[in-house]
Each structure stands twice: as C-alpha cells, then as structure tokens.
C-alpha cells in the first residue's frame, strides 16, 4: 500500500488526506504515508463510523478544503526525497553523542531550539532532523498531530536520524543531541530548574484550535530561555506559533521562518513574517545549518 502510494506521489503528486484508525498498526502506516507526502490525517473509530462521520463532517470538509490549497510541487519534491538514502544511526554516532552530553552541561542548558510546524511538517521535520549531526543543541518540537500518532512518528524519526528523537514525557530533561516531540493531545512547555531545562507535558484546552499548540511552547521558551533560544516556524496551515515566535524574538531569541518556496503550506510562516516575528527567512534545506551554527 505504502509502496503504491509513494509511486503515485512521485508520478502524479496529489493532495491526500489519510483516514486512519487509532491502532498501533494504523499509526505506523499513517506515519509512513505522511512521510511519503500525505497532507493530513483524520482519525476514525473502529466502531460507530456512521456517528463519527455525522459528528466530524465539519472537520472533514475543512481538512479536505485545506488539502486542496497545498503546494503540490513541494509534495512531489519531498515524496521523491523520502525514498532516497537517509543517514541511519550507527554505534559510532551514539558513542560520539553520549560523552558530549555529560561534559557539556553548560552548553546544553545555554542553547535550546524550539520548532513548530503543521501541514507538511512531518516531511519538513524529517528533512531538518536527518541533516543534523549527533551533537547538536537540545530540541523541543510541536507538530500538529492527533494523539496516538506522535509516538510512532518519533520512533520513525529516531530510526533514521543521528540524533535521538522521542515523544516527550512530563518532566523530561532537554539534552544535547536529542529532540523531544510533544505528544498529540497534550501541550508541551519548557521550564528551567537551575542550569537545566525540562519539559512540562500536560492536558489542556486547545489553543488556536490545536493541542499541542506551537504558541504554548514558544511562549514558554521565550520566558525560560530568552536569548539562549532559537525559534523555528515551518510549513503549516493557520497562524499557530506566529505570536509565540514574536514573543521569543522580543525576548532576544534568534527566530527564523521557512520560506514560501519550500513550504507545503505557507500559512504559519507567512503570519510570523507579517508580525515581524522572524529575524530571518530560510529555505528548508538551510534550517539545519542555522541550528548547528554553520
């Protein structure tokens, strides 16, 4: 199924919305489809489908309308890239990363990278994170994605990146060479205790219609990390994260927005640029270089 989907996306790129069941197998398959170029995912129950369709009619029609507006050329580009060679972890990478975390506590706590993204973000994050070396600043991420799917998404990225990628847990430390992804259905915030950074993961009402919300993360980073942070807003529908990125910039953080040409949907970055929240506008393939300072 995924092989066929990849072939379709390469030969005739088409906006696709996945309707997936909330099962472990369904989640893994959905993540593969998103990596191959699917635009969005709508979750459905295993029973009570008729009631689900009635109650979710507005969500479904909105998702389909949004999918129709995406940059199809970018779907084609990322779909092709997803089938190419990706640097896998090996023992040398892990051995290189581990000592750096222990002996570089000061650098770890001094620099934090916060990334927010939505539609098209699964592919964009794969592009950015697979390009990072094993030793890089600690990263916290909000990707708009339903509950049950973020764990599979993090596991997939962890298998193809040199850094560690995990679904975040409450009170987990943010360390060098590791990216923490907010669990679907929960907000994630940065907090600081002495010289160390942690994440707080908790339930809460949607913010900007989303849980997790990029704004919630970015505002906490502005408060806790200030000028020691880098904020990155990437492809996505709507405006979640734009105001939080402005707060980060006002607090002295370096802030960047993905450029229009490389976005699947130039919504969130566009709003951030409009608010003067981004100090730089960077193409997708340049974001990893900004993170590493190259």
Residues that are catalytic? 118, 144, 240
CA distances from 210 to 146, 187, 205 (A): 10, 9, 8
Q: Which residues of 235-249 are buried (b: 16+ CB within 10 A; e: fewer)?
A: bbbbbbbbbbbbbbb
Query: Which residue, 182, 171, 172, is CA-closest to 241?
Result: 182
Cα–Cα–Cα angle for 37, 42, 46, nearest 5°?
A: 125
CA-based torsion, 104, 109, 110, 111: positive or negative: positive
Cβ neighbours of residue 129 under 8 Å, at least 6 residues apart?
139, 157, 161, 163, 165, 179, 288
């Amino acid at each position: 199924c995924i092989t066929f989907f990849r072939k379709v996306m390469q030969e005739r790129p088409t906006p696709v919305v996945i309707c997936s069941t909330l099962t472990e197998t369904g989640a893994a398959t959905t993540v593969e489809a998103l990596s191959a170029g699917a635009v969005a995912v709508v979750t459905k129950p295993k029973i009570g489908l008729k009631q689900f369709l009635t109650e979710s009619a507005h969500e479904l029609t909105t998702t389909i309308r949004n999918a129709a507006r995406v940059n199809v050329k970018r779907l084609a580009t990322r779909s092709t890239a997803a089938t190419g060679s990706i640097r896998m972890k090996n023992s040398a990478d892990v051995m290189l990363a581990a000592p750096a975390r222990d002996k570089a506590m000061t650098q770890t706590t001094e620099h934090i990278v916060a990334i927010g993204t939505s539609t098209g973000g699964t592919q964009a994050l794969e592009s950015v994170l697979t390009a990072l070396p094993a030793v890089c600043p600690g990263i916290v991420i909000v990707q708009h994605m339903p509950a049950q799917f973020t764990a599979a998404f993090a596991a997939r990225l962890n298998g193809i990146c040199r850094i560690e990628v995990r679904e975040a847990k409450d009170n987990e430390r943010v360390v060098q060479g590791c990216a923490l992804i907010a669990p679907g259905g929960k907000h994630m915030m940065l907090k600081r205790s002495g010289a160390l950074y942690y994440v707080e993961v908790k339930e809460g009402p949607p913010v900007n219609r989303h849980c997790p919300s990029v704004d919630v993360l970015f505002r906490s980073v502005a408060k806790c990390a200030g000028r020691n942070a880098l904020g990155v807003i990437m492809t996505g529908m709507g405006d979640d994260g734009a105001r939080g990125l402005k707060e980060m910039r006002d607090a002295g953080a370096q802030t960047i927005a993905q450029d229009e040409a490389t976005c699947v949907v130039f919504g969130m970055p566009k709003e951030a640029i409009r608010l003067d929240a981004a100090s730089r506008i960077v193409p997708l393939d340049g974001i990893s270089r900004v993170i590493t300072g190259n």
